Amino acid sequence: MCPSADPPRPEAPPSVARGKTRPHIGVTTSRRSGWRIFPLVAFNLWLAGGRGVRWDTARPADIAAVDGLIVGGGDDISPDLYDGQLVATARLDTDRDALERRLVLAALAAGKPVLGICRGAQMLNVALGGSLHQDAYATYPGSRYRRTVLPRKTVQVVPGSLLARVAGPAPMRVNALHSQSVDRLAPDLRVAARDEGGMVQAIERLKDPFALGVQWHPEHLVYASRHRALFAALVAAARAGQDGDQIAEIRATAADPAPD
């Protein structure tokens, strides 16, 4: 009688299987503006030791082909995903909504880390069962509306949060281009930062796989070490991989950045 064979091991993503040192990170973008946004994200990933792969609704997107995921900024998320009411000022891309929701759920199910940027933070919350304020500044009148890529807004980082470990616990200077924000928080997520008016500015997952969402655009702030640290944390989690302890790896390798 022949001995039974061991069950087949799952195949590693191509970046690991081919022995490449840079984890491959899928980056979702708008078909309309991705040509100018993706290079900024890819540059930040390259500085952090990763390699970006651009995805949009016209390109194949398969979580099995990458080691992690960035959900980028863009249009508002349809309230159909969380039983909300559409506001007149919303600009929607329902095909992208469906793509990104699928990718977020697939990434977390596969044990692969996720970083959400602006719309991406909102999608992380919605995909996991949360909801959004569609007119965030009407809901939070104390949150000053400053639509700029420059760091003109201050957010308070929650003490003891993963964000505090990654980027430091001091208040952060950030930019702001969003009109929506987190309302009802999804299970397994917690608030990691708020602005002066109480609006949620960052959310994070309570357990592996690593998932962090920030309401601002760190890709525009590449000159600031605390914002580069967000991409470094994602790459560190991607290196740890499905069988590693991603959050422990981030805690072990993250420096305490000085305020920029």
Q: Catalytic: which of 100, 133, 178, 219? A: 219
Cβ atoms 51, 22 nearer than 8 A = yes
d(CA 64, CA 15): 10
Q: What secondary structure does DSSP assign to 25-58, as a single string?
A: EEEE--TTTHHHHHHHHHHHHHHHT-EEEEE-TT
2 is catalytic: no
CATH code for residues 18-253: 3.40.50.880
* pLDDT per residue of the chain (260 residues) written in tens, 0 to 9: 333 343 333 344 555 444 458 999 999 998 877 678 999 999 999 999 999 999 999 999 999 999 999 999 988 998 989 886 655 445 678 999 999 999 999 999 999 999 999 999 999 999 999 999 999 999 999 998 888 999 999 999 999 999 999 999 999 999 999 889 999 999 999 999 999 999 999 999 989 999 999 999 999 999 999 999 999 999 999 999 866 789 888 877 775 665 66
Nearest Cα to Cα of residue 104 among 188, 191, 200? 188
Q: Note the pLDDT of residue 251.
A: 78
118 is catalytic: yes
Q: For residue 37, what are its two tokens?
A: 């946004």
Q: Note the pLDDT of residue 222.
A: 96
Q: Catalytic: which of 24, 133, 178, 217? A: 217
Domain range summary for the chain, segments of one domain joined by +: 18-253
- Name, in order, each residue with C-beta under 8 angstroms of 169's C-beta and a sequence gap of 6 or more: 157, 159
d(CA 9, CA 173): 45
Helix (H, G, I), strand (E, B) or coil at 139: helix
- Name, in order, each residue with C-beta under 8 angstroms of 98's C-beta and a sequence gap of 6 or more: none
217 is catalytic: yes
Q: Note the pLDDT of residue 252.
A: 76
Whether the model pTM is above 0.85: yes
* Cis amide prior to 10 (ω within 30 degrees): no
Residue keyed to tokens 């400053």? 146
